[in-house]
């Protein structure tokens, strides 16, 4: 399996760093995971939008979805149409939000562009050579994490979430755990992100082999996570890992 980091910035893009977005590939299968602001352009360094096999969206926050709007334009108005709509797996209500931006006439043709699956609870799906599992997490809104299984490797992705049992289940034994560290410190109540220490605890508890931190708030996130888990890297745009 190959993971390419398209962007990691939170909660808004920076020069040379889009918001959250990742490309997961196995052979000729390509899945765009989270469509954060700026990631559509970076995606095209690796694969054309129309050649994707699926898009998977963790939750509806704009830093994970904004580029779906222009992906719609790419698929609907540019170049030859796909033979079939592009599978789009996302949280409930995602299409209604998109139609709100794109205009009401887009509602009538949305199913020609995207074949939408709304995530509700735990579920599995097969996309080309990759098996996906997802489950609900804790982010103060409907939010999901992802587990991707290839023939001989497993990737787990936290989306945005506070530390929770669902994360542990998704990350169990993963070869690579891509985990957000969107909080530097826990708020007094109602955490919705992991801290670097949470990410390290998750990697350790789940028995993951390697932790890739993303969407970090703290500049010293890697050092902080290394205090609790031995194999930690910081995700940066353009980084590719094969495992
Ligand atoms: Zn979020
Ligand atoms: Zn986010």
> Which CATH number covers residue 178?
3.60.15.10
CA of 81 to the centre of ligand 2 (A): 31
27: left (phi over 0), alpha (psi -120 to 50) or beta: left
Angle, helix 106-113 to helix 68-77, in steps of 10 degrees: 80
Task: Evaluate if residue 81 carries a pLDDT over 90.
Answer: no
Task: Evaluate if residue 80 carries a pLDDT over 90.
Answer: no
Contacts of 238 (CB under 8 A, 6+ apart): 4, 5, 42
CA of 230 to the centre of ligand 1 (A): 27
Q: Judging by beta carbons within 10 Å of its beta carbon (0-12, 13-18, 19+), is residue 117 exposed, middle or buried? A: middle
Ligand nearest to the CA of 143: 1
Domain tally for the chain?
Answer: 1
Indicate the DSSP class of residue 129.
T
Task: Evaluate if residue 79 carries a pLDDT over 90.
Answer: no
213: pLDDT confidence band, cut at 50, 70 and 90? very high
Ligand nearest to the CA of 61: 1
Domain boundaries, position 91: 2-242
Q: For residue 76, what pLDDT is reported?
A: 95
CA of 61 to the centre of ligand 2 (A): 7
CA of 139 to the centre of ligand 1 (A): 7
Query: pLDDT per residue over 44-56, tens digit each?
Result: 999 999 999 999 9
Spatial distance between the Cα atoms of 83 and 217, rounded to a whole number of angstroms:
41
Ligand nearest to the CA of 215: 2
CA of 40 to the centre of ligand 1 (A): 18
Spatial distance between the Cα atoms of 150 and 1, rounded to a whole number of angstroms:
6
CA of 181 to the centre of ligand 2 (A): 10
Q: For residue 109, what pLDDT is reported?
A: 95
Query: pLDDT per residue over 16-64, tens digit each?
Result: 999 999 999 999 999 999 999 999 999 999 999 999 999 999 999 999 9
CA of 80 to the centre of ligand 2 (A): 33
Query: pLDDT per residue over 166-202, tens digit each?
Result: 999 999 999 999 999 999 999 999 999 999 999 999 9
CA of 79 to the centre of ligand 2 (A): 31
CA of 91 to the centre of ligand 2 (A): 14
Nearest to 218 by CA among 189, 192, 193: 193
Query: pLDDT per residue over 92-147, tens digit each?
Result: 999 999 999 999 999 999 999 999 999 999 999 999 999 999 999 999 999 999 99
């Amino acid at each position: 399996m190959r993971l390419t980091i398209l962007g990691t910035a939170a909660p808004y893009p920076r020069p040379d760093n889009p918001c959250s977005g990742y490309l997961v590939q196995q052979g000729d299968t390509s899945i765009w995971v989270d469509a954060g602001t700026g990631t559509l352009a970076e995606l095209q360094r690796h694969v054309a939008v129309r050649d994707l096999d699926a898009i998977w969206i963790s939750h509806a926050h704009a830093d994970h979805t904004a580029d779906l709007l222009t992906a719609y334009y790419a698929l609907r108005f540019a170049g030859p149409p796909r033979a079939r709509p592009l599978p789009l797996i996302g949280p409930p209500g995602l299409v209604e939000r998109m139609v709100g931006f794109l205009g009401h006439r887009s509602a009538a043709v949305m199913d020609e562009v995207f074949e939408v699956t709304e995530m509700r609870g735990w579920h599995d799906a097969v996309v080309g050579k990759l098996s996906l599992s997802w489950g609900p997490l804790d982010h103060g809104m409907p939010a999901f994490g992802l587990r991707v299984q290839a023939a001989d490797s497993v990737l787990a992705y936290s989306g945005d979430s506070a530390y929770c049992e669902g994360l542990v289940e998704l990350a169990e034994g993963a070869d690579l755990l891509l985990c957000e560290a969107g909080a530097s410190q826990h708020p007094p109540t109602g955490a919705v992100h992991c801290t670097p220490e949470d990410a390290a605890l998750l990697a350790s508890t789940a028995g993951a082999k390697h932790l890739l931190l993303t969407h970090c708030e703290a500049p010293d996130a890697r050092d902080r996570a290394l205090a609790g888990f031995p194999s930690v890297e910081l995700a940066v745009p353009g980084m590719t890992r094969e495992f």
